[in-house]
C-alpha cells in the first residue's frame, strides 16, 4: 500500500524519523552482479532494451541493500533514439549520436507521440518491476530533462561545457527552441507511459542545468520541467515528480514553485544546512552526499552522512547522493552509509 512506502510519504510532505534511501545509478558498474548481467546482454544498449535483463539489474541493488526505492534501468538517450536520432556507444568513451543542428533536422524527427513502439521494451521493464519489487519499495521512472538531452542531440556526444548547444541557442534560437519543444512533448509522452506501466513516481534529470546562465536557466531548464510536471499531473493526478536541476547552486531556492515538483534533488555543490533553510522550507528535498564518499568510505562517510540527516531532520527528506554512484565505488561503503542512516 502507498501509505507503507516511505519514499511516497516523504514526497507527500511527511517528515519521517529516518529518511528513506536510494541512490542515483544504484544499478551499475560498481556491483559485480551488474557487470555479469551486462556481459550476458552483450552491450549497454542491448541491456537497456532487454526487458528481463534490465529488470534484473534494477532489482539487484534492492536485493543487496534493501533500498526504499528502485529506479528503472534505462538511459536518457533512448528517448531521442526513439525520435529517430542514431545512437551508439563507444567503449570507454560513452554515447555518440547523429547531430540535430538545423530546422530540417528537427522536421526529420518523429512526432512526440510516435515514440512508443520503439520504447515498448522500456515500458515492459516497468511492468516487470511493478510485479516483482517488494511491496514496500517505490518504483521510480525517469527521463532526462529537455535541456540536457538537447545538449547530446546538438553536440552528438557529451561535452565538458555543452558548448555546441549554447552556440546553437545563440546563433539559431528558432531551431534550438524547436528541439526543446519537441523534447518537452516527447518527455511527457514517455513519462506518462511509464506511469501507466506502473511507475509510482518520476524523476527529471537536468544534469547540465548549471551551465545555463541568467534568463536561460528559467527558460530552458525550469520552464520545460514545469510544463512536463504540469502535464503529467493533469494526466496522472497524484503522481509525484522529483526534479534535479543539477548545478543550480543558490538558484535551487524557489525551484519547487518554479517547476511544481514534489521534491527537488540537490547536488553536493550546496550544503545541507543551506538547502534546509532555503529549499526544504518549500517541500521535500533529496540528497546530497558527495559520491566520492562511496569510494573513500571511513569516518568521513559516517560523519558527513550523519550531518546531512541532522540538517534535513526538520522536514521531508529522501537520502541520496549528490550525483550518481561511480564505477570505482566500494559496495561495502554503500552498506556503511545505509547502516549509518538507519542505525544512527
For the question of whether the overall pTM of this predicted structure is more than 0.95, the answer is: yes
Q: Determine whether 63 is an active site residue.
A: no
Peptide bond into 328 cis (omega under 30): no
Output the pLDDT for position 333: 98
Query: Where does residue 84 rank: exposed (0-12), middle (13-18), buried (19+ CB within 10 A)?
Result: middle
Share of the chain above pLDDT 70, in %: 99
The per-residue pLDDT for range 244-280, each reduced to its tens digit, is: 999 999 999 999 999 999 999 999 999 999 999 999 9
Residue 31 CA to residue 127 CA, distance in Å, equals 24
The per-residue pLDDT for range 12-62, each reduced to its tens digit, is: 999 999 999 999 999 999 999 999 999 999 999 999 999 999 999 999 999
Q: Which residue in the list 25, 226, 246, 251 is annotated as catalytic?
A: 25
Q: Which residue in the list 75, 172, 181, 282 is annotated as catalytic?
A: 75
Q: Residue 1: is its pLDDT beyond 80?
A: no
Q: Determine whether 152 is an active site residue.
A: yes
Residue 103 CA to residue 216 CA, distance in Å, equals 21
Q: Determine whether 190 is an active site residue.
A: no
Q: Residue 76: is its pLDDT beyond 70?
A: yes
Q: Residue 2: is its pLDDT beyond 80?
A: no
Sheet containing 201-206, strands listed edge to edge, beginning at the edge strand earlier in sequence: 69-71, 138-144, 201-206, 241-245, 263-265, 284-289, 317-321
Q: Which residue in the list 29, 64, 157, 235 is annotated as catalytic?
A: 29
CB 267 within 8 A of CB 322: yes
Output the pLDDT for position 4: 83
CB 184 within 8 A of CB 224: yes
The per-residue pLDDT for range 83-134, each reduced to its tens digit, is: 999 999 988 888 999 999 999 999 999 999 999 999 999 999 999 999 999 9
Delineate the domains of the chain, giving CATH numbers in brackets. 2-343 (3.20.20.210)
The mean pLDDT of 307-326, rounded to a whole number, is: 98
Q: Residue 149: is its pLDDT beyond 90?
A: yes
Output the pLDDT for position 159: 92
Q: Determine whether 131 is an active site residue.
A: no
Q: Supply the mean pLDDT for the chain.
A: 97
Q: Determine whether 38 is an active site residue.
A: yes
Amino acid at each position: 500500500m502507498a501509505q507503507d512506502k516511505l519514499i511516497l510519504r516523504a514526497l507527500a510532505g511527511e517528515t519521517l524519523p529516518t529518511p528513506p534511501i536510494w541512490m542515483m545509478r544504484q544499478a551499475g558498474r560498481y556491483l559485480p552482479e551488474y557487470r555479469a548481467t551486462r556481459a550476458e546482454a552483450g552491450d549497454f544498449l542491448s541491456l537497456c532494451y532487454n526487458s528481463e535483463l534490465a529488470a534484473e539489474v534494477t532489482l539487484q541493488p534492492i536485493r543487496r541493500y534493501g533500498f526504499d526505492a528502485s529506479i528503472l534501468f534505462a538511459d536518457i538517450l533512448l528517448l531521442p533514439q526513439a525520435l529517430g536520432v542514431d545512437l551508439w556507444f563507444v567503449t570507454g568513451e560513452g554515447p555518440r549520436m547523429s547531430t540535430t543542428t538545423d530546422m530540417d533536422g528537427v522536421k526529420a524527427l518523429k512526432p512526440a507521440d510516435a515514440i512508443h513502439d520503439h520504447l515498448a521494451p522500456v515500458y515492459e521493464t516497468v511492468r516487470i518491476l511493478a510485479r516483482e519489487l517488494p511491496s514496500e519499495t517505490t518504483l521510480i521512472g525517469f527521463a532526462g530533462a529537455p535541456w540536457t538531452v538537447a545538449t547530446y542531440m546538438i553536440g552528438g556526444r557529451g561535452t565538458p561545457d555543452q558548448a555546441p548547444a549554447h552556440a546553437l541557442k545563440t546563433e539559431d534560437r528558432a531551431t534550438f527552441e524547436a528541439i526543446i519543444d519537441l523534447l518537452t512533448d516527447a518527455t511527457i509522452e514517455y513519462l506518462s507511459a511509464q506511469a501507466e506501466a506502473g511507475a509510482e513516481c518520476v524523476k527529471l534529470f537536468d544534469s547540465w542545468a548549471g551551465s545555463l546562465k541568467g534568463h536561460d536557466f528559467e527558460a530552458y531548464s525550469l520552464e520545460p520541467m514545469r510544463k512536463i510536471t504540469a502535464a503529467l499531473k493533469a494526466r496522472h493526478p497524484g503522481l509525484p515528480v522529483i526534479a534535479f536541476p543539477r548545478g543550480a547552486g543558490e538558484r535551487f531556492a524557489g525551484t519547487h514553485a518554479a517547476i511544481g515538483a514534489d521534491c527537488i534533488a540537490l547536488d553536493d555543490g550546496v550544503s545541507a544546512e543551506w538547502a534546509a533553510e532555503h529549499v526544504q522550507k518549500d517541500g521535500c528535498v533529496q540528497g546530497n552526499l558527495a559520491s566520492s564518499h562511496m569510494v573513500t568510505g571511513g569516518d568521513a562517510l559516517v560523519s558527513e552522512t550523519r550531518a546531512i540527516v541532522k540538517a534535513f531532520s526538520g522536514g521531508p527528506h529522501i537520502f541520496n547522493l549528490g550525483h550518481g554512484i561511480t564505477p570505482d565505488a566500494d559496495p561495502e561503503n554503500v552498506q556503511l552509509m545505509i547502516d549509518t542512516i538507519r542505525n544512527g
